[in-house]
Amino acid sequence: MNIRVRFAPSPTGYLHIGGARTALFNWMFARKHGGKFVLRIEDTDRKRYVPGAEQAIVDSMRWLGLDWDEGPDKGGPYGPYVQSQRTALYQEWADWLVEQDHAYKCYCTPDELSEMRKEQMAAKKPIGYDRRCRYLTTAQRAEKESAGLTPVVRFKMPLEGVTVIPDVIRGKITVNNSQVQDPVLLKSDGHPTYHLANVVDDHFMHISHILRADEWISTAPLHINLYHAFGWEMPVYAHLPLVLNPSGKGKLSKRTQAFDDGGREVLVKVEEFQEAGLLPEALVNFLANVGWAYGDDREKFTLDEALPRFELEDVNPAPARLPYDKLDWLNGQYIQEMEPLALAQAVKPYLDEAGYEVNPEMLLIVMPAMSVRLKRLPDAVPFLRFLFEEAPLQETAESLSHKQMPAELAREGFRRARDFVRDVEPYDLDGISQAMREIGESITLNGKAGPFLGKMRQAVTGQKVSPPLFESMLALGRERTLARLNEVVALFD
């Protein structure tokens, strides 16, 4: 079998993280089997269409590294890949269904449908279309046509029996046909509904497997009966597990933007993750763990490592929550692996946004030491604030002393550090680290440099959280470090 899968987002907004997981599993399945990954834009819902949404979805997928083989921008043998450009095809096959008595024209007006629902509610009957136009005679249809009523096209669902949904992940799912109404396939304006366009496109784009969220299971009986009516071979279904909020309470798919879930912010849009300073490598690694597991109790892996192990049969059908703490851990792991230049380039936009004028050389100095301290890229901003702001010294002689380094010893240590910074040539990392350690070991009561180095960092940066001392002193520069140490020494005089 030639493996062909598709991700078919609707441009009614951003790319949801749940949709990104669906796209990722489709991409992994295609790449695992040397197949094709198709991007199709399902824009038939014109009322909810959002200008710019298509480009936003494409940008988010590119950021995640989910490249496609065929799509609106790349073309392919089965295009066009935007549904609004395929309207004639849907009309043709809707007409065919009517001609073959698998569908019928429905002339009910919105007012009639509304009145029908009111009567059903009053009688406490199931709400839904009662198929009244399914049984119109030829004369009755002609009368409605002559009255100028523009019909929709509805599918004739079987009234009895069951439809079996074969699912790779869930096994066979059986649904009574009586539970499925006669849905609209073609609207009165000639545009298709999702059901018709979806089935027609999957057939003519030769889609072999449909990997989609389990919330679409309810549509499968209709789609399967459409395939039977057309006489087309049905793709293989795999309904992916529901994605829950991190707390495990509620569907994440209902959320449209970041929200609070048990006291922590939960991101929803892929662009929100990007803006929050999460790396695409970490996010796809994280999403691959939602409903599937690499095995060997291993959480961190690349997609190249995962592909040989990825099997649809191994996807767990149970709802899966998003453990965001694990995402932060993963992101920190990937940050640690970044080269200093790449990390500096990734951090710089957040410093720019904070209004800081960044010296690239200064930034490169602190990146190796910073990488182990960051969970997200914006975390660098408070760490590095001392490099950009001339904040007044908040310390006192008492706060810069230590039980292993009383005030007199602290005074001596800071003076020697000041003199070193003023006189040393060259002013470099090796010289700074050696001198500061020697000073610390010589002036503390226990002969250990730690108490002095900690107080030095506190004095030089004016922050409780910052990069390590030696890198901080070098990045700050001789002049500014000396000025800060002069202030500190004056505290002890």
Maximum separation of any 2 CA atoms in the chain, in Å = 108
Helix pair angle (17-32, 280-288), 10° resolution: 80
Residue linked to tokens 């395939």: 227
Q: Where are the beta strands (DSSP E) in 307-414?
A: 320-321
464 is catalytic: no
CB atoms within 10 A of CB 353: 11
H or E element: which one contains 171? strand 171-176
* Cα dihedral sign, 195-201-204-209: negative
Catalytic residue among 172, 254, 403, 464: 254
Return all residues near 288 (Cβ < 8 A) that are at least 6 apart.
Answer: 24, 28, 294, 301, 303, 306
405 three-state secondary structure = strand
CA distances from 74 to 86, 95, 130 (A): 17, 31, 44
List of E strands, 200-358: 209-213, 236-240, 243-244, 259-260, 265-266, 320-321
Q: How far apart are CA 287 and CA 440, in angstroms?
A: 47
Q: Which residues are catalytic?
A: 254
